[in-house]
Amino acid sequence: MKIGVHDAAIVCSFLIPMPLILLLYSAICIPCLYLASLAYLILAASCIQILFNDPVAKGNKLKDRMIMTLTISSFVGIFTEIALVF
């Protein structure tokens, strides 16, 4: 709230691709995770598009997509840990 909607959108757009590093590493170790990496990339790109266009007007759509991107990256992280243990 303090930095404003536009500046918060810029900060978020730099933070969104960070889990992609984990996803790509996981996809190298476990090839079946390429699809999850692709889904994350598509969702992240749509979130960034909403952030730069009008995040206030499309708040519900943005919230849903952000939750999905966080779920995908968390699920892949847990799945990778389980797969590497076994």
The pLDDT assigned to 85 comes to: 67
- Compute the radius of gyration of the chain from its Cα atoms: 14
Question: What is the pTM (predicted TM-score) of this model?
Answer: 0.67
Q: How many domains does the chain have?
A: 1
Q: CB atoms < 10 A from the CB of 51, how many?
A: 21
- Tens-digit pLDDT string for the chain (86 aa): 567 767 777 777 777 777 778 777 777 877 777 777 788 888 888 887 877 787 778 878 878 887 887 787 777 777 776 766 66
Full domain range(s) for residue 33: 5-85
